[in-house]
C-alpha cells in the first residue's frame, strides 16, 4: 500500500502515526514545502522570546522518520493532485503515485489589502512559519526607532507582539474588533487582557485598521496611517490577521471545496481514497451544529488520527470538534472553550470576578456550552470535557464559578466506581457510563 501525506505538521504526522499503528509495512511518504522537519509551528513566538530554541522547537524526536520508516520529502511544493490516475504532481515535475492520499496543507496567512505592504521586504511580513520568526529576529536588530506594528489582535497577533516585545521593541497592536482576542473573549476579559498587555509595553489600538504603510526609499516601512488618521512610527510591520485554508493546488482535482476541504465522518473527501484534515478541513462543529473550520492543534491531531485509521483500513468515525484555546500572556493564563459569547436568548451567562480571577460560563438550558477562565485555569480540562459531551450540569454552576471544578470529577468518579471500589488509573473500562476516557472522543 502506498500512502502519500501532504503536510508535515500536526495533522499529517498524527495521520502517519495512525497508519503505522495498523499498517507496519506500507510505504508512507510525507511531503512538505518547507525545508525543516516537523517543528512546533505555534511556538515561533516563544522562539523570539527564547523560551524555545533551535534544539527544542522540533515537534518529534530526531530519529522519528527513520524509526517509523517514513519517507520525508522536504522543500517540495505540490502543484496539483490528479485523482483520476491517483498521482500527486510536485513543483519540480516529479510525480508521486498513491493508493491513499491525505491532505493536510494547513493555512496560508491572509493579508487584507493594505497599501504599501510587501511581504518580500525584510522588515515586513506575516507570522506563521519558522522562517518568519527568523526574519523578525533579524529585522529587530535593524529597527532604528524600535517601533513595531502588529496588525491583528487574535492569537497570532498577540503572540507575535509578545515575541517582538521580548526583542526589545515597542509594539502596537492594531485590531479591527473592539477588543483583543475579539472572537473568543468578552468585554471584561478583553479589557483585563489589554491592561496586562499595556502594562508590559504593548499598546493596543482597537477598532482600528492600517490603511497605508509609508515606505522609505529602500522599501522598508517608516510609519503607518490608521483609519482614524493617526500616524504611528513603524520599523517593523507584521500582519497576523488570520489564516485561510491552503487549498489552491486542489483546483481541478474534483475534490469538493467550500472555503475548506469538505470531508465526511471518516475524514474522506468527496473523492474516494483521498482524505483530509487539519486547518484546511471543514469538520462538524458540535456546538454550532454546522460544518465549520476549526484551526486548532488538538483537533488537527484527532482528525489526522481518524483519517489515518481509515486509510489503513480500519473503520473509524470522527464525531466532530469544538473550538477551544489557551494562551498565557505575561503570567495571565487564559482559557476559552466553546461558545463564549451567547448567540441567542436561550443561552444564559453566569460570571464571577475578583482581583485576579475571571470566570464566565455560558449555559444553554441545563447544558454548558461555553466558558472563559482567566487567571486561574486549574481544572479547565474538566469543563472542556463537560462541554464536549454536552452533559447537564446546571447544578454545578456555583461550584464551577467558585473554582471548585474538581467537584464534578469527584462526584462522577464516585458515582461510577461506587465509593467502596478501587480502580486502577490505567486499563480498559468498556462498560462505564458517561464520564470515562473511552468516550471522551
Partner 1 sequence: MQNNLNKNKLTNLKEDLKKNQIEIMLYPSKCDGCETEGFAACVKACEAHMGKKYGSKYTGARINIKKKSGRFFPIICHNCEEAPCVDACMPGARYKDTESGWTVTNYKKCVGCWMCVMSCPFGAIERIGAGRFASKCDGCIDEGTPKCVEACKKGALKRIGIKNYSYERRLMVAKKIYGPYIKSVEKR
Interface positions with partner 1 (CB under 8 A): 14, 40, 42-43, 46, 51-52, 56-60, 297-298, 301-302, 305, 324-328, 331, 333, 335, 337, 377-382, 384-385, 404-407, 409-411, 413-414, 417-428, 435, 437, 440-441
Smaller CB separation from partner 1, 18 or 237? 18
Asked if 336 and 253 touch (Cβ cutoff 8 Å), the reply is no
Contacts of 425 (CB under 8 A, 6+ apart): none
| DSSP element (H, E) containing 353 | strand 347-353
Smaller CB separation from partner 1, 346 or 420? 420
Q: Which of 205, 219, 11, 199 has its CA nearest to residue 104?
A: 11
Mutual orientation of helices 10-22 and 297-311 as an angle, nearest 10°?
Answer: 30
Q: Which of 265, 292, 264 has its CA nearest to residue 279?
A: 292
CB of 439 to partner 1, least distance (A): 10
Helical segments of 62-153, H only: 64-67, 130-142
- What is the sign, positive or negative, of the torsion defined by CA atoms of 41, 46, 51, 53? positive
CB of 13 to partner 1, least distance (A): 9
CB of 333 to partner 1, least distance (A): 5
Asked if 335 and 326 touch (Cβ cutoff 8 Å), the reply is yes
Smaller CB separation from partner 1, 4 or 283? 283
Asked if 210 and 225 touch (Cβ cutoff 8 Å), the reply is yes
Smaller CB separation from partner 1, 18 or 250? 18
CB of 215 to partner 1, least distance (A): 35
Task: Kindly report the backbone phi and psi dihedral angles of residue 257, in degrees, each rounded to the nearest multiple of 5, phi listed first.
Answer: -130, 130
- What is the sign, positive or negative, of the torsion defined by CA atoms of 63, 66, 72, 75? positive
Smaller CB separation from partner 1, 83 or 380? 380
Max CA distance (Å), the chain = 78
Q: Cα(270)–Cα(392) distance, rounded to whole angstroms?
A: 36
CB of 234 to partner 1, least distance (A): 28
Smaller CB separation from partner 1, 9 or 121? 9
3-class SS at 304? helix
Q: How many CA atoms lie within 13 A of 229 on its CB side?
A: 0
CB of 287 to partner 1, least distance (A): 15
CB of 382 to partner 1, least distance (A): 5
CB of 356 to partner 1, least distance (A): 14
CB of 224 to partner 1, least distance (A): 30
Q: Which of 401, 395, 371, 398 has its CA nearest to residue 383?
A: 371
| CA–CA–CA angle 159, 323, 354 (5° rounding) | 70
Smaller CB separation from partner 1, 35 or 404? 404
Smaller CB separation from partner 1, 97 or 414? 414
Helical segments of 214-255, H only: none
CB of 50 to partner 1, least distance (A): 10
Within 10 Å of residue 131's Cβ, how many Cβ atoms? 13
Asked if 258 and 283 touch (Cβ cutoff 8 Å), the reply is no
Within 10 Å of residue 118's Cβ, how many Cβ atoms? 15
Smaller CB separation from partner 1, 147 or 162? 162
CB of 210 to partner 1, least distance (A): 28
Smaller CB separation from partner 1, 203 or 376? 376
Smaller CB separation from partner 1, 175 or 302? 302
Amino acid at each position: 500500500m502506498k500512502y502519500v501525506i501532504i503536510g508535515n505538521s500536526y495533522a499529517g504526522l498524527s495521520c502517519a502515526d495512525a497508519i503505522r499503528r495498523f499498517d507496519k509495512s506500507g510505504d508512507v511518504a510525507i511531503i512538505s514545502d518547507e525545508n525543516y522537519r516537523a517543528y512546533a509551528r505555534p511556538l515561533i513566538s516563544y522562539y523570539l522570546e527564547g523560551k524555545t530554541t533551535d534544539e527544542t522547537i522540533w515537534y518529534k524526536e530526531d530519529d522519528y522518520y527513520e524509526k517509523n520508516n517514513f519517507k520525508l520529502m522536504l522543500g517540495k511544493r505540490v502543484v496539483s493532485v490528479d485523482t483520476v490516475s491517483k498521482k500527486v504532481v510536485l513543483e519540480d515535475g516529479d510525480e508521486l503515485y498513491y493508493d491513499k492520499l491525505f491532505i493536510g496543507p494547513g493555512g496560508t496567512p491572509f493579508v487584507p489589502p493594505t497599501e504599501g505592504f510587501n511581504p518580500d521586504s525584510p522588515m515586513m511580513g506575516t507570522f506563521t512559519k519558522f522562517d518568519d520568526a527568523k526574519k523578525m529576529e533579524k529585522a529587530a536588530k535593524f529597527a532604528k526607532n524600535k517601533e513595531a506594528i502588529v496588525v491583528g489582535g487574535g492569537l497570532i497577533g498577540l503572540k507575535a507582539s509578545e515575541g517582538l516585545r521580548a526583542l526589545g521593541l515597542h509594539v502596537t497592536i492594531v485590531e479591527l474588533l473592539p477588543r483583543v482576542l475579539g472572537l473568543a473573549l468578552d468585554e471584561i476579559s478583553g479589557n483585563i487582557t489589554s491592561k496586562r498587555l499595556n502594562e508590559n509595553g504593548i499598546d493596543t489600538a482597537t477598532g482600528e485598521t492600517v490603511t497605508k504603510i509609508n515606505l522609505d526609499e529602500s522599501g522598508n516601512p517608516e510609519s503607518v496611517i490608521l483609519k482614524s488618521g493617526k500616524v504611528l512610527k513603524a520599523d517593523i510591520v507584521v500582519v497576523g490577521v488570520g489564516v485561510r485554508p491552503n487549498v489552491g493546488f486542489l483546483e481541478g482535482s474534483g475534490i469538493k471545496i467550500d472555503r475548506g476541504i469538505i470531508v465526511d465522518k471518516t475524514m474522506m473527501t468527496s473523492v474516494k481514497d483521498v482524505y483530509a484534515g487539519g486547518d484546511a478541513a471543514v469538520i462538524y462543529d458540535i456546538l454550532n451544529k454546522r460544518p465549520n473550520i476549526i484551526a486548532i492543534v488538538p483537533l488537527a491531531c484527532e482528525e489526522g488520527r481518524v483519517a489515518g485509521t481509515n486509510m489503513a483500513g480500519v473503520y473509524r468515525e470522527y464525531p466532530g470538534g469544538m473550538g477551544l484555546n489557551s494562551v498565557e500572556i505575561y503570567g495571565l493564563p487564559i482559557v476559552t472553550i466553546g461558545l463564549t459569547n451567547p448567540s441567542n436568548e436561550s443561552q444564559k451567562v453566569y460570571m464571577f470576578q475578583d482581583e485576579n480571577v475571571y470566570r464566565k460560563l455560558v449555559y444553554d438550558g441545563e447544558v454548558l456550552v461555553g466558558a472563559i477562565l482567566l487567571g486561574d485555569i486549574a481544572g479547565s480540562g474538566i469543563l472542556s470535557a463537560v462541554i464536549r459531551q454536552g452533559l447537564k450540569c446546571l447544578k454545578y454552576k456555583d461550584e464551577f464559578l467558585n473554582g471548585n471544578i474538581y467537584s464534578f470529577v469527584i462526584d462522577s468518579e464516585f458515582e461510577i466506581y461506587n465509593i467502596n471500589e478501587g480502580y486502577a488509573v490505567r486499563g480498559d473500562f468498556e462498560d462505564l457510563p458517561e464520564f470515562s476516557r473511552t468516550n471522551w472522543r
